[in-house]
Amino acid sequence: MDAPTTLNPSDLAAFYRTALLEDVMPFWMRHGLDREQGGFLTALGRDGTVIDTDKSIWVQGRGAWMFATLFNTVEAKQEWLDAARSGIEFIRRHGAREDGKLYFTVTREGRPLRMRRYVFSESFAAIANAAYAKATGDARAAADAQKFFATYLDYSFKPGRMEPKVDPQTRPMMGIGPHMMGIATAQELRLHLGDIAVGERTCSQWIDWSIAQVERYFLKPEHEALMEVVGPAGEVIDHFDGRTLNPGHALEAAWFIMHEGKLRGDQKLVRLGLTILDWMWRRGWDEEYGGIFYFRDLRGLPVQEYWHDMKFWWPHCEAIIATQLAWSLTGDARYAAWHRQVHDWSFAHFPDREMGEWYGYLHRDGRVSVQSKGNMWKGPFHLPRMLWYCWRLAEESAKGAP
């Protein structure tokens, strides 16, 4: 996976396609499928050896979505459909507590380990089921996608439904995460199931609502920043948590919004996404060592998290998508340069050229911190999603090019 020497869209498309289909997905097909108990095993050592058999429900949904998406958009390969089904069926059999809320982790055979307050297992299960319903016509998958999204919306946005971490009487806070994931989940449901209603809004209306909330409460022109958490009227909370910016997260939000603008032909949405990209690229890019910092403080004060300056795989995947999408939507040379910059840094530091896939966690200067290829968070998702999205985008640009 060496970086291409030109920014020619056809070369880029071929590069991303090759990395996806000849390196990354084969790694997960070879090592990440539990052929005995079903579902995905993603706690893998450098060479793909399973180093922990516990299963992440996030990863079951993310993996099933990725395999179903490749089946739907690249080629109707039986092994991809089987892998998607394996994740879907594992969630059906073992994912949920009696009340329907999904676990965070379970054992290899599916016995409950951890339940968490929040509902990201549900958002990933929703997109997995939506893509799987499209692939198979399976009615239960279509129904489950809606059911999981309804649970996600309920816990994320109904006041008092989720137990808060910080006393809401003393310091009411709201996070951008639920809006961001709500946008991406609604986009996937709409793509596969049509613009259906879930709860009191259609998918497009949920997207409108969350983007409006992001713009109204989390976007701070006076700071040129997108906040992670704010007070109930969008107040900046001038404490560690309130000041902590997550540039990778913001760049992911930026491309979700640009993608929506592109689908609708809505330049206002595209400009909003570009604004977030512009501000958070400047906040996140490490001018000294290259790469995207994990956390930054709004006022440049010390960040509480001691590992704030590490370089994780996923913010780089999101930055590669955001910059390429911005470039394709605007033709602006600045975005081409940023795309090249983060692409080159990422492909110079994250890939394991000997054993395949990417390392997940690098020190600030790009040295590998952890040799493993996956864990309860890192599985077949951010990296293959980026390669798949950027391949298709580059191909589109190549076709549209004069």
Which residues of the shown chain bind its own copies in the complex (CB under 8 A)?
A: 43, 45-46, 51-54, 106-107, 111-115, 165-167, 169-171, 239-240, 301-304, 306-310, 312, 360-361, 363-364, 369-372, 375-376
DSSP bridge partners of 311? 362
Report the length, in residues, of the chain: 402
- Beta carbon of residue 277, minimum distance to its own copies (angstroms, whole number): 26
User: Smallest gap, in angstroms, from Cβ of residue 55 to its own copies?
Assistant: 11
Smallest distance, its own copies to C-beta of residue 78, A: 33
Of 216, 189, 46, 54, nearest in space to 124 by CA: 189
**CA distances for 401 relative to 30, 250, 322, 396, angstroms:** 37, 29, 20, 8
Query: In whole angstroms, what separates CA 317 from the centre of its chain?
Result: 9
The letter for the amino acid at 361 is Y
Q: Given the complex with its own copies, which of 301 and 337 has the nearer CB atom?
A: 301
Q: Which two tokens stand for residue 222?
A: 């006076």
Smallest distance, Å, CB 223 to its own copies?
17
Q: Please give the Cα distance from 275 to 7 (Å, whole number).
A: 23
With CA atoms as reference, report the closest residue to 131 among 77, 181, 88.
88
Q: Shortest gap between Cβ of 197 and its own copies (angstroms)?
A: 35
Q: Which residues contact 263 (CB under 8 A, 6 or more apart)?
A: 187
Nearer to its own copies, 51 or 74 (CB): 51
CB of 243 to its own copies, least distance (A): 9
Distance CA 138, CA 85 (A): 11
Which value, to the nearest 10 degrees, does the dihedral of the CA atoms of residues 353, 360, 184, 73 take? 20
User: Which residues neighbour 142 within 8 Å (Cβ) at sequence distance 6 or greater?
Assistant: 129, 130, 133, 193
Q: Is 329 helix (H, G, I), strand (E, B) or coil?
A: helix
CA angle (276 as vertex; 1, 265 as ends), nearest 5 = 85
Min dist CB 368 to its own copies, Å, is 10
Hey, what are 221's tokens? 């022109």
Beta carbon nearer to its own copies, 54 or 224: 54
Give the nearer residue to its own copies in terms of CB position, either 256 or 359. 359
Q: How far is the CB of 293 from its own copies (least distance, A)?
A: 12
Question: Would you say 16 or 28 has its CB closer to its own copies?
Answer: 28
Residue number, 17 or 62, with CB nearest to its own copies:
62
Return the number of the residue (47 or 79) whose C-beta is nearest its own copies.
47
Q: How far apart are CA 157 and CA 401, in angstroms?
A: 43
Per the structure block, which two tokens stand in for 301?
């004060």
* Nearest residue (CB) to its own copies, 22 versus 47: 47
